[in-house]
Chain A
């Protein structure tokens, strides 16, 4: 079964509203989780690194006030897309690893966001 659970899998929202996406590690603790965005026919793009108990690290060009990340526990990170616009429509996916060098990498199943 999935070891990283991402919810919701699909969401449709209206322009101007906010959407929260959750990423949970189910059977391991993850001090760090990653959020990616993927546009159609393109590869994954790292948006930000979510750090438990501290501020997220955002990649260049990603607006931290628009994509709010909260990593309140060792098993949960949330990404909130604020004041969503149609151009925010995309596939958002998270990943996490355990804290050992040999820990495998797990991805959530992704969230398909459509902003109308």
Chain B
């Protein structure tokens, strides 16, 4: 069993729909990143969270440390949200903290 399980692997939505991507992990962590990877390969860290909920624009990330589960939500999805979203739990707290990666969720938002 992978240390990080993401679902769904692929997701197609119509513009405006509410999107949820789930992540379960099996190891103890200090925090969890949600990453966005665009077709060109560049990666952006959307959130780093260790408890509760964070919101940035139309994006919301939640985490339940006890249940080892995190979700990424996108409200009012837009075609420009089309990308691969990767859940990445982190162990350690310093700059040397290591990430483990989920397989990613390919999101396609159609106009």
Contacts and interface: CB of A to CB of B under 8 A. Distances in A.
Interface of A: 30-32, 34, 38, 42-46, 49, 51, 91, 93, 95-99, 101, 103-107, 109-110, 112
B58 to A, nearest CB: 20
Interface stretch (B19-27, B66-74, B100-108): B100-108
B76 interface: no
The B contact surface, by secondary structure, is loop
Contacts of B33: 105
A107 to B, nearest CB: 4
Interface in B44-96: 44-45, 48, 86, 88, 93-96
Nearest to B6: A43
A109 B41 contact: yes
Nearest to A59: B98
Interface of B: 33, 35, 40-45, 48, 86, 88, 93-99, 101-104
Contacts of B94: 32, 99, 101
Given A46-B99, A96-B95, A99-B95, 17 more contacts: A30-B95, A32-B96, A43-B86, A43-B101, A44-B99, A44-B101, A93-B43, A95-B99, A101-B94, A105-B99, A107-B44, A109-B40, A109-B42, A110-B41, A110-B42, A110-B43, A112-B41
Those 10 A-B pairs whose CB atoms lie nearest each other, nearest first: A107-B43, A32-B96, A110-B41, A97-B95, A105-B45, A43-B101, A109-B42, A101-B93, A32-B95, A44-B101
22 contacts: A32-B96, A42-B103, A43-B101, A43-B102, A43-B104, A44-B88, A44-B99, A44-B101, A45-B101, A46-B98, A93-B43, A95-B99, A96-B95, A101-B93, A104-B45, A104-B48, A105-B33, A106-B45, A107-B35, A107-B43, A107-B44, A109-B40
| Best-surrounded residue of A31, A42, A43 (most CB of chain B within 10 A) | A43
Given A104-B48, A105-B33, A107-B42, A43 B103 contact: yes
